[in-house]
Structure 1
Amino acid sequence: MTVPRVASTSSAATRLEIALIAAVCAALCIVLGWTSRTALNPDGVSYLDIAARFSAGDWSGAVQGYWSPLYPLLLAVLGTATGATGTTLLVQVHVLNVGIALGIVALLWRMARAHGDPIVARALFAAFLLASARTPRLDAVTPDLLLIGAVLGLGGELLRGAGSRWYALGAWFGVIFLTKTSSWPWLLVTAALLAIAGDRAMRRTLVRAGGVALAVMALWVVPLSLKSGRPTLGSAGAFNACWYLERCDSRTPDEHSGTHARYGGLRLADGEQVTVADFSNTQWTYAPWSDPTAWQAEVRSINRAPLDLFDLVGYWSRQGWAVVSLWTPQLLLFVLLPVAILSWRRGLLATGWREQRMAVLLVLLGLAGIAQFIVVHAEPRLIAPFVLLASIGCLWWWRPPGLAASGQGFRSEVVLVLGWVGLVSALLRGAIYVPELTTRTKEDTARFERLRQAGVDAVPGGLAGRAIVVVGPAIPVVSDAWLFGARIVAQIPPGSASRIRAWTPAQQREMLRLLGRGDGDVAWMTATNGSILMAPIVRSTP
């Protein structure tokens, strides 16, 4: 069956509609970025720590195998250019995230304008807004938005010229790797599918693109391999498999019940003893999470509970069901389904591979990216780039540029209305999230002020730049430490901390005196809900 086509040009009205949709999405991203300007997650602390190493010229310290390098490099450029620290730098980081989001909107606008179909344009922007389940995650200090932009750039390159520009194709491959080093299996799958689906010219293009990609990747792989003493692409995949599939408890002292080279002991006069993890000779806010590679290398024993085959099938099924039922139903039902119904025609499936091969490949590549995370650990923000990529593939497959509109009467009108419902609901979902972010910003500001005052009451001069000993879980309070420019130099893990809570006041005071032999200035007794009780540590000599 021959698909009826018209010239791939859009009318002035269509171009105006696309521009207005892009402007509304851009405005939403700006509002989301501003209302989340105080948000800082533990992963974000790690990226900011690595950025600080880059800014200080400590490239050896910045090179580690778990966190990817491109985002902290951007943060380092930002921090060096502005000289900001603490809460001011955090606001600037969120401005950077907004800038990345606006770049994505610009790419989407360009793709929609080139396609010329307003139906596709509405669905395209709605897919972007819904790919992360709720809204674009501008509140997360992570490279997720950067990865969305890189994957979108690769998808656009494949659609634009069937991947014929080898230098651009290779550059996007390299940027994706530097943005998220654990994406290398997906990049291999991408290259393999393009080689299988393409002709001889495509395979020649892939060889050239591979050279460019390897050159870009080598900027990180070579120093990382030299530091590791062996060839490596990073440790993220191995660690995540251990933590999620083998259920290893060694991620941080918050969970670890085994032994470690950094674990020591603290004994009271009455014989009571607790474990103390020492990070005093590190440069990180919280060493186990800012450099998991170094932390894991010193683990001496791990408690594991590997998932057997039955458990694995159940785990993967739950992850897959969450993708379909929790994270993407609005996208599937109110965005993609109406376009599929409106565009359905005889031979669509049969002719797709022959006539719209690159679009079908984008669908397959998107599904492969989602599957990669389902296998180990899936979250909405992690699968968002690949959800968007698969959605773009579906739209270009079902309604290729230049497809002639076919009259379908009442059904067509109903589906068009549903398409608008999908876009408007996506925008509203983002808008509804704004009050929640606003409330969270107020709570973050109030929490910072409470901790600041408590720090002033606990130690002369307050918490700025202080060395902290955490008594309890550290991950819930690592962001607080970073905001004050403080560093966690030691930790009494939760198992021991629970016993300390039951000690008498005299025993607790003795513990603080013993901690004074180390580098700590103030003790934080913490809980999983992020609560903090502070006490000064009086320095003493052994």
Structure 2
Amino acid sequence: MNEVAVSSAETQPDSISPIDTRRLQVWVWVALIAIALVRAWYTRYEFDGDSISYLDIARAIVDGHPGLAVHAYWAPGYPVLLSFFLWLFHPNAYWECPLAHLVNVLIFAGGLASFQLFWSEVRRWHESLAQQDAAAMPASAFWALGYSVFGIATLSVIPVSRVGPDLLWAVFCCLAGWSVLRLRRSPRLGTALLLGLFLALGYYAKAPFFPIGFIFIACAGFSVPLSRRRLLLSGTALVLFLLLCAPFIRAISLSKHHFTFGESARLSQAFYINGVSYYVHWQGGPSGSGMPVHPTRKLNDLPEIYEFAAKDMGTYPPWFDPTYWYEGLAPHLNWSLQAKVFVANLILEFQTIMETGAGIVCATIVLVLMAMDRGQWIKNIRKLWPLWLPAAMALPMFALVHVEPRFMGGWLILLFAGAICACSLPKNSGTPRLVSCVGLAALIVTGGTLILQASQEALRSDHAAGRSPRSAVIATFLLQNGLRPGGRVAVIGDSMEAYWAHLARLQVVAEIPANIRRYQVHPALDYWESGPEQQKKALGILEQTGAEAVIADPQSDVIQGFEPSIVPAPWRKIDGTDAYVYFFHASQ
């Protein structure tokens, strides 16, 4: 396959002037950042168990414990970034979660700048593919399509409302893609070093970037005919990539007593393929999956009560470091089930693309059909393999075990970039205007979709009420009634989302969980439906764990039978919330 020579190529006259193209870019930037701000604001109090673990690690770094960022499950890049802003602003309990969402908006803005760089390089490659019998798209249409892809990938597929590293991951997808294209177009040492740096930073954002990093490097180095200079430069990128990743890989490998670049894939295999009790409270089984070396301690059968106090393990130890509680796990292959899961996940990925990006999908299909008269698109897509191959490898990799739409955002940018870049167009007078209309239509549909999603979030009343203010109210109440930072509490409900405990700097050391064993058992409901003697016994067991209080948090679980009217004294309702607290000491 001949190397694409990036040079000046004939471009169809733009139906919009260059000044208007620049104006389009400015307005789209303003619109996308505004949408990100609106969505972040109206979801500023949203969090989940992952968010709390990332914030726990970030706070530990600020408090002078950077070693807690060396983690085999949670990649360190995002919490390190959060820690900088926590150190800079010192937010109180009401503003910590909104600050984390503001960081997401800043990451989004950085991603938009990275995409601008990446798409400019894609545009150069697109122009180079226009031969004497073909033409490049008008610049305005090309940028409209690109911004449509980016908007869907980073504001719809990846929710800006989620406190997590997915947006950061997408940033490094764009930067790595830019580096590969740039290195193939103009082999220079600086670009090779940047490629190695971006791949390492991508790994520090999320561990799956590590194996995909080798694909990026192969895309940068291999061509037909082989280029000795390009091979040497890609080798330089590889060396830098490995050197930057090695300290962290060494640290987590030593802590786990085997080589690993991250344990998330290993746990996902056990959770979603092997049938292991996922997330928390694995006590062993099923057959062939091993036995935990140090499981959470089951203290009672009805209702089931678990204790898991652990030093330096954040708000909720079972989810602060699941690799510790699942040590002894033996994931194994189940080929028939693996194949079924793989197919189901590929279908899910396809559905995600079609449901979230219908406008850009339709626009791309139209452009491909326009280029198919001479089979030009197929020829071009073969030449562009360094652009789309990393995405084509990443998406099936996720499908092997477990996939969520947020995993896909950055890779969809690369995938659509390849499809759009390959669309060299026939030369005729009607083509430029038609293509401009296609690009504009895609941008309008995408903008409408994003505005609709933002409006739906703004109108949802639960965002107005806010989960974080509720959590802050609970945290403040507990601290005003005798608990102190570093204290221990127990929970009846879903402790994984006990954000109030994080705000009060309390550790959940025991729980009667809402759901366990794949949501088939509901211990919290068993507790509330039991008689006074069983409830008294359960509270006595919780007190023996060292907990100073028990918090019943119905908002964080799915208990159907829990009504405030049946909660007897000495349970105390926390004003302004639907939560209750039972203090073990009367003075509180």
CA-to-aligned-CA distance 1:484-519 (integer Å, 9 cap, x gap): 443211123445444323321233134323422332
Output the TM-score relative to the length of structure 2: 0.79
Question: Alignment partner of 1:67: what SS?
Answer: coil
The correspondence of residues 391-540 of structure 1 with structure 2, limited to 5 A, is 391-399=416-424, 406-407=427-428, 409=430, 413-440=433-460, 442-443=462-463, 445-447=465-467, 461=481, 465=485, 467-475=488-496, 477-493=497-513, 494=515, 495=521, 496-525=523-552, 526=554, 528-529=557-558, 534-539=580-585
- What is the alpha-carbon distance in structure 1 between the residues aligned to residue 282 and residue 500 of structure 2? 16
Q: Deviations over 1:214-259 (max 9, x none)?
A: 2221242233234334432121121111112222115312898887
Segment drifting more, 70-79 vs 227-236: 227-236
Task: Answer with 24-33 or 412-421: which moved more.
Answer: 412-421
Is 1:221 the counterpart of 2:246? The answer is no
Q: Is the 8 A contact 1:516 1:537 kept in 2?
A: no
* Mapped partners of 1:183, 1:255: distance in 2: 31
Output the amino acid matched with 2:311: N
Structure 1 residue 387, shift from structure 2 partner: 0.7
* Aligned residue in 2 for 1:278: 308
- Which 10-residue stretch deviates more, 1-10 or 157-166? 1-10
Q: Secondary structure at the match of 1:134?
A: helix
Matched, 1:168 2:212: no
- SS of the counterpart of 1:535? strand
Q: Quick one: structure 1 residues 253 and 85, their matched pair in 2 at CA, closer, same or farther if it must change by over 3 Å?
A: farther
Taking the TM superposition and a 5 Å limit, the aligned residue runs for 1:57-456 are 57-112=64-119, 115=123, 117-131=139-153, 134=156, 136-162=158-184, 164=187, 165-197=191-223, 199-253=227-281, 261-264=294-297, 266=299, 274-297=304-327, 308-329=334-355, 330=358, 333-344=361-372, 346-349=374-377, 351-352=379-380, 357=383, 359-399=384-424, 406-407=427-428, 409=430, 413-440=433-460, 442-443=462-463, 445-447=465-467
Q: Is the 8 A contact 2:253 2:259 kept in 1?
A: yes
Q: TM-score, normalised by structure 1?
A: 0.85
Report if aligned partners of 1:86, 1:482 keep a CA contact under 8 Å in 2: no
For 1:308 and 1:461, the matched residues in 2 are separated by: 52
Counterpart position of 2:24: 17
> Partners of 2:104 and 2:302 in 1: how far apart?
49
Unaligned runs of 5+ in 2: 124-137, 516-520, 563-577
CA distance in 1, matches of 2:43, 2:99: 12
Q: Could you tell which deviates more after superposition, 454-463 or 132-141?
A: 454-463
Q: 1:280 offset after TM fit, Å?
A: 4.7
For the 8 Å contact 2:158–2:405, the answer to whether it is kept is no
Q: Report the alpha carbon displacement of residue 469 of structure 1 after superposing the two structures with TM.
A: 0.9
TM-superposed deviation, 1:148:
0.6
| Distance in 1 (alpha carbons) for counterparts of 2:155 and 2:89 | 34
**Which amino acid in 1 is paired with 2:151?**
L
- Distance in 1 between the 2:269 and 2:362 partners? 35
Would you say the 8 A contact 2:484–2:506 is kept in 1?
yes
CA contact (8 A) 1:468 1:487 kept: yes
CA distance in 1, matches of 2:51, 2:380: 42
| Segment drifting more, 366-375 vs 512-521 | 512-521
Q: Secondary structure at the match of 1:377?
A: coil
In 1, the alpha carbon distance for the partners of 2:504 and 2:363 equals 44
The residue number in structure 1 matching 2:10 is 6
Letter in 1 for 2:437: V
The Cα of 1:368 is off from its aligned counterpart by 1.1
Structure 1: how far apart are the matches of 2:76 and 2:101? 18
Tell me, what secondary structure is at the counterpart of 2:45? coil
Contact 1:342/1:415 (<8 A) preserved: no
Matched with 1:37 is 44
Shift of the 381–280 alpha-carbon distance from structure 1 to 2, 3 Å rule, reads same
Distance change >3 Å, CA 222–CA 453, structure 1 → 2 = closer
Q: Contact 1:68/1:178 (CA < 8 Å) preserved in 2? A: yes
CA distance in 1, matches of 2:24, 2:479: 59
RMSD across aligned positions (CA): 3.5
Change in CA separation of 1:122 and 1:343 when aligned onto 2, cut-off 3 Å? farther
User: For 1:335 and 1:41, how far apart are their aligned partners in 2?
Assistant: 36
Mean alpha-carbon deviation: is it higher for 447-456 or for 372-381? 447-456
- Runs (5+) with no aligned partner, structure 1: none
Judge conservation of contact 2:313–2:321 (CA < 8 Å) in 1: no
Residues 406 and 18 of structure 1: CA distance in aligned 2, closer, same or farther (over 3 Å) = farther
Change (3 A) 1:502 1:425: same
Question: Which position in structure 1 is the counterpart of 2:54?
Answer: 47
Cα deviations by residue, 1:409-464 (Å, 9 ceiling, x for unpaired): 3x765554333222111111111112332245744735555566677888862878
In the alignment, the residues of structure 2 paired with residue 298 and residue 516 of structure 1 have an alpha-carbon distance, to the nearest angstrom, of: 30
Query: How many pairs does the alignment contain?
Result: 524
1:436 aligned counterpart, secondary structure: helix
Q: What code does the residue aligned with 1:6 have?
A: E
Letter in 2 for 1:333: V
C-alpha distance 431-350 of structure 1, shift in aligned 2 (>3 A): closer
Give the drift of 1:142: 0.7
TM-superposed CA distance for 1:52, in Å, is 1.7
- Structure 2 counterpart SS, 1:506: helix
Contact in 2 for aligned 1:36/1:441 (Cα 8 Å)? no
- The alpha-carbon deviation at position 385 of structure 1 amounts to 0.7
